[in-house]
């Protein structure tokens, strides 16, 4: 049986440094021959690693992936603060960090672990009165971004290198969505009184999507293939709820089912192994959150 969703799904890109997330989307549109390409979880040009993109109806799935946690590997330079909190900005403060001890660094990292309040970078994509913060900054306007809660599940230190009055700290960060690693580096430097910024950032995981799933742009240009089909993406990212053919048909029309005592969102999968929708219990209904295979498709 022909499946209209066979060529729709998710592409996990290993984004190279120097490209914006929008640049990656533009290339994927050319590789896959469609305008219907989007991405979840923007990466700065300096950053590399996992960028999750949707192809065709896979773009509709992206909005439901943003609640995932993420894992990064980064290098924080202590002793210098920049305008952008990363190596792309101009250095605005320089301090001799040579006397900062490893114990002090570890103590400051401990204070930045767990549930914390974080002020996003002023050059972030956060919207203030309908405009991106970085657009306001570039227009010369003063930006005041309120702190917001984020969770740093783990902030693990790696190698610590000292040279020329600065300290380069390698770290692995497991955090909630909405966390800015640039802000984490900035705040670490501020807590130690010497300033800090990122000089390297690589995203290893977004939810259940990892570098093991990722392809480079060079690989995709030669062979434009999905990393995961819609079915694979749905059943990997959410627990599976098996439904009957009749229930499958109802969900494909957006109808609700009787509650099952489920907690959280599940991927409803029919007897043929195909996922029809994301569902969630709402009151006395098992309702659709996203219909992957609508009856009209």
Torsion of CA 25, 59, 216, 181, to 10 degrees: 80
Neighbouring C-beta atoms of residue 176, cutoff 10 Å: 15
Residues 232 and 10: their CA atoms lie apart, in Å, by 9
Kindly state the DSSP code that residue 229 receives in the 8-state scheme: E
Residue 181: Cβ-neighbour burial (10 angstroms; 0-12, 13-18, 19+) = buried
Cα gap 199→74, rounded to integer Å:
8
Alpha carbon 212 to its chain centroid, in Å, reads 16
d(CA 170, CA 202): 11
CA geometry: angle at 172 spanning 28 and 83, to 5°?
75
Closest alpha carbon to 48 in 1, 14, 82, 77: 14
| Helix ranges (DSSP H) in 79-146 | 102-111, 133-138
Helix (H), strand (E) at residue 78: strand 70-78
Helices 181-191 + 102-111 axis angle, to 10: 130
Give CA separation, 131 vs 75, 83, 211, in Å. 30, 19, 32
Catalytic residues: 44
Question: With the CA atoms of 118, 121, 124 and 127 taken in that order, what torsion angle do they form, in degrees rounded to the nearest 10?
Answer: 60
């Amino acid at each position: 049986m022909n499946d209209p969703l066979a060529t729709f799904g998710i592409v996990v890109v290993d984004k190279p440094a120097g490209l914006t997330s929008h640049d990656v989307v533009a290339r994927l549109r050319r590789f896959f021959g469609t305008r219907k390409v989007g991405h979840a979880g923007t990466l700065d040009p300096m950053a590399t690693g996992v960028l999750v993109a949707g192809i065709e109806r896979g773009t509709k799935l992206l909005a439901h992936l943003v609640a995932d946690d993420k894992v990064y590997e980064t290098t924080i330079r202590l002793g210098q603060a920049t305008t952008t909190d990363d190596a792309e900005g101009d250095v605005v403060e320089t301090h001799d960090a040579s006397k900062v001890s490893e114990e002090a660094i570890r103590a400051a990292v401990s204070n930045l672990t767990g549930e914390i309040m974080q002020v996003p970078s002023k050059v972030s994509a956060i919207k203030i009165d309908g405009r991106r913060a970085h657009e306001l900054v570039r227009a010369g306007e003063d930006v005041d971004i309120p702190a917001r809660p984020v969770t740093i599940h783990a902030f693990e230190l790696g190698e610590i290198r000292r040279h020329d009055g600065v300290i380069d700290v390698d770290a692995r960060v497991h955090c909630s969505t909405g966390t800015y690693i640039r802000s984490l580096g900035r705040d670490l430097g501020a807590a130690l009184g010497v300033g800090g910024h990122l000089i390297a950032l690589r995203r290893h995981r977004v939810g259940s999507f990892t570098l093991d799933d990722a392809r480079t742009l060079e690989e995709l240009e030669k062979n434009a293939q999905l990393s995961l089909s819609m079915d694979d993406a749905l059943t990997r990212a959410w627990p599976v709820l098996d439904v009957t053919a009749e229930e499958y048909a109802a969900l494909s029309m957006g109808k609700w089912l009787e509650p099952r005592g489920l907690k959280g969102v599940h991927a409803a999968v029919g007897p043929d192994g195909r996922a029809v929708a994301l569902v969630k219990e709402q009151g006395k209904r098992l309702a659709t959150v996203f219909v992957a295979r609508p009856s009209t498709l």
